[in-house]
Structure 1
């Protein structure tokens, strides 16, 4: 049986041979136009994905593009302090909302979504207030490390507050599918952050300049998103205490289960920076932070692919009972690209960092050589990580994340006691390769399971 263009050609040619070409081309063009409208038309998933991916890409390109400037304004030691700041802010952000913001997308009614958002804001207010009280008490009691870095810690509390607001407002905006405005907010935040980091670096060259830039970026993003959300939910009245409590009770599993799981995963991701700052000093931490920031710009390429994988895999599972075909189609290009990236890091890492960031950052390229197999497997695993959510294997995911946290903690502790910074990274890289190889294999196996809740 013929299908697609051949079938269309023979059908038209048989009915009217003399005018076949004049009819085939317009019909084919019309079909292509209809498919384009269906996939990229207003409100379509393809259009939303494209806009969202481009927004994330542009927002990620800016910090990477200014790194050659920042690396010549800030020393490795200052980058190391900033790396610790960013790691702690990331951990604080995960905990700050109780993960209630993830539930904003779930209810059908906007009233319920607003109630969940209010619950998240209340959780955020309590969390930030507790941080501020602890910081104030530690400062006046005279805790040495707090007083020595009081400016960075104070900025960290403010950054957690604004970052938590961004997470809540972002979920509310995505619920309304205003992806263009979300992309604009991300772009403005990245632009402001980069501008202030360069401006303050030219005048002070302290880690506080980088921290102020990031904090200001969160503030700008929160301000823009708050205006967007206010317009989208303008017709919804503020909920009363009973409505908020009802949603808190309804979605209590998010702080009970999702929060510990996500926090442990984020902690495992940031453990290398925290360990390095303790055992190897701020300069070594700065080299690691520089590599992570540049690699983050590279790995942003898979963000859009991950979103597309989630949609296609979920659809295939509904239709066929599994999503192994989508998994195989996704894994092949990822593996090929990761091999190229790994070879580039191993062969040219130090030279690339020397050219891009300056001679004093060559060590960051050496770190990249050591971590290349590990981070490239992470690169492959990132998009297919949605397999656990699609198949509802959250308990299995939680077990793996706990294993990741424990394994990383042990490898970093043992490495820091027995080896140098490079040796510790080698131990971490070996452990990471094993864990993420298992992760990818489990994801592939899950994709072959029949459609069932477990």
Structure 2
């Protein structure tokens, strides 16, 4: 099957990107206000919360949400959707039990966060399958509506609570409020009737590879990305974790949402292609993603410290320095994320596990050396250099896998 990049595929990406861009503009416009209303330590604690919920939320559905796009008939796809919800609700119950049982004396300043973790993870677990269903039906405009609404509510709630002296909890509640709105809208668009208490063993067995391999791979992938925040907070204090959080919010979050939009359409279109067409399609996407990010990457690499000091205040100069150091990693990650669906389309979750384990090892080594030499900057630099190099190798293997036949026959 041939896809004309000048027509259908591009129009789908543009539809998603327009909503993503607007949602990111709202968040970026709000950041200069938020950095003057919340301290670096507040951002650091918020960063720890986001790190934990991101790691857990990514596997909330057992990764069955990814499989929603694969079945040819609607009934099987609905069964996969239902299994995704069942996993999300199961994890929510487990996290509630853990939050209730965990002794307060070990939590310290994180005590206020633990009760919000299960809710945030549940909302992510409900949103992911809803978004995949909208992708399956090519309802791209509905996805953009949910994203924009979520961003507006996130900003509005965070700023409002800042004036009520909520501290870092204002950022946390803003995120949860935005998640809730986005989930309600996307879930409403994709709603259909199903029996939540009925288990479909045949469908579960068909796509169990997503649970066995993709879940572990996603867990490792998110864990290695959150290691800097957790390490900086644990070894060097919340303020440095806050600088890193802002640096990544400004650099990787906008680019990440763009690459996610590309990846979502890439998955849908790629699932309908023959092997030869898909390999060429892969290369065109890599080239397009590189051209899209190279100019802003150079600007941040050269002038990151100045840009951050002007936009967010002199207190955030260190965040700009971190952003400059992290740009190579952000660039490689942006390109990989846009075409990473090749892992699932070609059933290479098991093969990709090795890369994810190496990313975790290199990240831990980076910040262990930073801790050993009492130098947080060294940890950030090594994290960026090591993982950028490994990311290039992984991207090469993505290309090799793009030439293979699908693993789902």
**Structure 2 length as normaliser, TM-score?**
0.88
1:251 aligns with 2:196: no
Deviation string, structure 1 residues 217-247 (Cα, Å, up to 9, x no partner): 11112212232223xx3xx553763x53443
Alignment-derived partner of residue 238 in structure 1: 195
Q: Once superposed, which parts of structure 1, at least 4 consecutive aligned residues long, lie more than 6 Å away? A: 311-316
> How do 1:371-382 residues align onto structure 2 when only pairs under 5 Å count?
371-382=326-337
1:55 aligns with 2:19: yes
**Structure 1 length as normaliser, TM-score?**
0.80
Contact residue 114 and residue 239 of structure 1 kept, 8 A: no
> How do 1:167-186 residues align onto structure 2 when only pairs under 5 Å count?
167-186=128-147
Deviation string, structure 1 residues 2-59 (Cα, Å, up to 9, x no partner): xxxxxxxxxxxxxxxxxxxxxxxxxxxxxxxxx99x976xxx5554333222222222
Alignment-derived partner of residue 278 in structure 1: 234
> How do 1:9-48 residues align onto structure 2 when only pairs under 5 Å count?
45-48=9-12
Shift of 1:348: 0.9
Counterparts of 2:62 and 2:267, CA distance in 1:
24
Counterparts of 1:219 and 1:450, CA distance in 2:
39
> How do 1:373-452 residues align onto structure 2 when only pairs under 5 Å count?
373-446=328-401, 449=403
Alignment-derived partner of residue 8 in structure 1: none
Contact residue 371 and residue 379 of structure 2 kept, 8 A: yes
Residue 76 of structure 2, aligned match among 108, 112, 117? 112
Contact residue 289 and residue 335 of structure 2 kept, 8 A: yes
More displaced stretch, 356-365 vs 124-133: 124-133
Cα distance change on mapping 1:195 and 1:282 into 2, 3 Å: same
Cα distance change on mapping 1:257 and 1:334 into 2, 3 Å: closer
Alignment-derived partner of residue 219 in structure 1: 180
Counterparts of 2:273 and 2:205, CA distance in 1:
33
Shift of 1:116: 2.7
Give the number of equivalent residue pairs. Answer: 405
Alignment-derived partner of residue 151 in structure 2: 190
Deviation string, structure 1 residues 366-413 (Cα, Å, up to 9, x no partner): 112222322223233333434444554433322211211122122222
For 1:351, what is the secondary structure of its paired residue?
helix
Contact residue 273 and residue 285 of structure 1 kept, 8 A: yes
Counterparts of 2:6 and 2:139, CA distance in 1:
17
Specify every segment of 5 or more residues in structure 2 that has no aligned partner in the other structure, as ranges.
Answer: none
Shift of 1:105: 2.5
Alignment-derived partner of residue 93 in structure 1: 57
Cα distance change on mapping 1:157 and 1:394 into 2, 3 Å: closer
Cα distance change on mapping 1:423 and 1:304 into 2, 3 Å: same
Alignment-derived partner of residue 143 in structure 1: 105
More displaced stretch, 177-186 vs 52-61: 52-61
Shift of 1:98: 1.4
Contact residue 68 and residue 356 of structure 1 kept, 8 A: yes
Shift of 1:311: 6.9
Counterparts of 2:349 and 2:268, CA distance in 1:
18
Rg (Cα) greater in structure: 1
Counterparts of 1:107 and 1:452, CA distance in 2:
13
Contact residue 232 and residue 376 of structure 2 kept, 8 A: yes
Cα distance change on mapping 1:112 and 1:374 into 2, 3 Å: closer
Structure ranking higher on relative contact order (CA contacts 8 Å, 6+ apart) = 2
Contact residue 93 and residue 164 of structure 1 kept, 8 A: yes
Specify every segment of 5 or more residues in structure 1 that has no aligned partner in the other structure, as ranges.
Answer: 1-34
Residue 246 of structure 2, aligned match among 290, 294, 308? 290
Shift of 1:82: 0.3
Cα distance change on mapping 1:131 and 1:310 into 2, 3 Å: closer
Q: CA RMSD in A?
A: 2.9
Cα distance change on mapping 1:331 and 1:238 into 2, 3 Å: closer
Cα distance change on mapping 1:98 and 1:269 into 2, 3 Å: same
Cα distance change on mapping 1:245 and 1:314 into 2, 3 Å: closer
Counterparts of 1:446 and 1:277, CA distance in 2:
38
Alignment-derived partner of residue 266 in structure 1: 222
Counterparts of 1:226 and 1:298, CA distance in 2:
23
Shift of 1:297: 4.4
